[in-house]
A and B are shown apart, each in its own frame.
Chain A
Amino acid sequence: MNEVFGKAYHFFLIVILIGAGVLIERSGLVKYLSDPYEAYYTISLLKQHLWMVAVSMAMATVLGLSVGIIFTRPKFEKYAGIIMYIVGLGQTIPSLAVIALAMSFLGIGFKPAIFALFVYSILPIARNTLAGITAVPPWIIDAARGMGMSNARILFQVEIPNAMKVILTGFRVSLVINIGTAALAFLIGAGGLGEHIFIGIDLMRPDKLLAGAIPTTLLALLADYLCELLGFLIISKGLRLEQEV
């Protein structure tokens, strides 16, 4: 049963790869991208896209982590429930709505797009940081306190490393959503790979459309994969071993 399924799975993957090849060739994507001007333009859009994602993610990570850490301190712990509720509510708001609202308050261009992406990316990071740190077993913290660690050392050497897996998941979700939402930023005049997609749909030109859609997809998949690799670097070995056992 497993063997049959494994073979079917491989067959399925190969069919998808071949299909993608046929699609790329038939739609004229190869021709489109071998035009030096268009290729250059696509790369500049890709750079814009990456820049947007990088700036908004950097800001969102800093703020999300700080919110998560602040609301797990004993002083502010009582507000954690409310913050969780607000964040959960914020996450139900569709990305297009956030982008559209940013445009109506801040106008068009790069800044409103980055602001919208930033606001939208804080939520998963803040939520996972909160949840991760809250879920650290109390006896581990007690042990650290018994060893005479200061609060700051407990935070940086016990709580955060233990919560790292959950925090990283939040970061990954946030990054992938961010890359997808950045494609919508074209609508409010911030460029990015979305430009190819939306103009391609409007002109019914599959080559232009795919020149935007395929890099966006690959970017999201790559980001997802890199976050997984990042996990091997920053999650402590002991925790990984514990999981395997």
Chain B
Amino acid sequence: MNVLDFIRKNADWCWLLTLEHIWIVALSVFLATLIAVPVGIVITRNEEIAKKVINTANILMTIPSIALFGIMLPILSLVGHGLGKVPAVIALVLYSQLPIIRNTYIAIKNVPPELVDAGRGLGMSNWRRLKEIEIPLAIPVIIAGLRTAVVMSIGIAAIAAYIGAGGLGVLIQQGIMRVYEEMIVSGAILVALLAIFVDAAMALLENFVTPKGIKIGRKLGQ
């Protein structure tokens, strides 16, 4: 099996598919973040609503990805977007809700109340307290949620090749159709590598955005 040969010969195409894959995932996680982080912050003010929102996101997460594509296809066909990138991005946005909302919610809930009180004592407004105390303390956990969402999205985007969204799944899809082993394996390996690589990069980002004070606190705690 000459997987490396295949990748070298089709380097341009593989590169293009990788970029397409990254583009789909980046766009959908960006959109998901825009929705999920504010929702996660708002629901910390009300337990009842938080429970319902997280349960709904949980149910969404339980739906198998290919089944969700299937269910959305006839609905989105009505507006002419049954196949292609649109349903893929919508599905990825829906799937990314749970990890991001849950992590944001938990992170903000876990900010020590004495710190919030201290902020109040300093005369900070609600908005400033959120901006200067709660979010900086919560951001490592929020990024961890994003990390889960991104890695999961990379996997689901590979399946989205079957509804014509493009990306590295195309290599697997066409490889299976042509029984072209090198193509299948190179597709699988590239997707796996992309996921592992992005996971590592997000771990670094997580470390990078953690405020210095928290890191020192952790070290002293140990």
Contacts and interface: CB of A to CB of B under 8 A. Distances in A.
A184 B187 contact: no
B175 A100 contact: yes
A144 interface: no
Interface stretch (A40-48, A125-133, A157-165, A198-206): A198-206
A95 B162 CA distance: 14
Given A92-B199, A180-B65, A217-B63, A97 B73 contact: no
Interface string B98-110: 0000000000000
A183 B66 contact: yes
Contacts of A104: 1, 181, 184-185, 188
Contacts of A94: 154-156, 158-159, 191-192, 195
A216 B62 CA distance: 11
A9 interface: yes
Contacts, number: 133
Given A9-B52, A94-B195, A210-B71, A100 B163 contact: no
B29 interface: no
A214 B63 CA distance: 10
A96 B155 contact: yes
The DSSP consensus for interface residues of chain A is: helix
B191 A216 contact: no
A194 B66 contact: yes
Interface residues of B, number: 44
Given A94-B191, A214-B71, A217-B71, A100 B176 contact: yes
Interface residues of A, number: 44
Given A93-B155, A96-B169, 19 more contacts: A2-B49, A5-B48, A5-B49, A94-B191, A94-B195, A96-B159, A97-B191, A98-B188, A176-B62, A184-B66, A197-B67, A201-B73, A206-B74, A213-B67, A214-B67, A217-B63, A217-B68, A217-B71, A221-B62
Interface of B: 1, 46, 48-49, 52, 59, 62-71, 73-75, 77, 83, 151, 154-156, 158-159, 162-163, 169, 172, 175-176, 181, 184-185, 187-189, 191-192, 195-196, 199
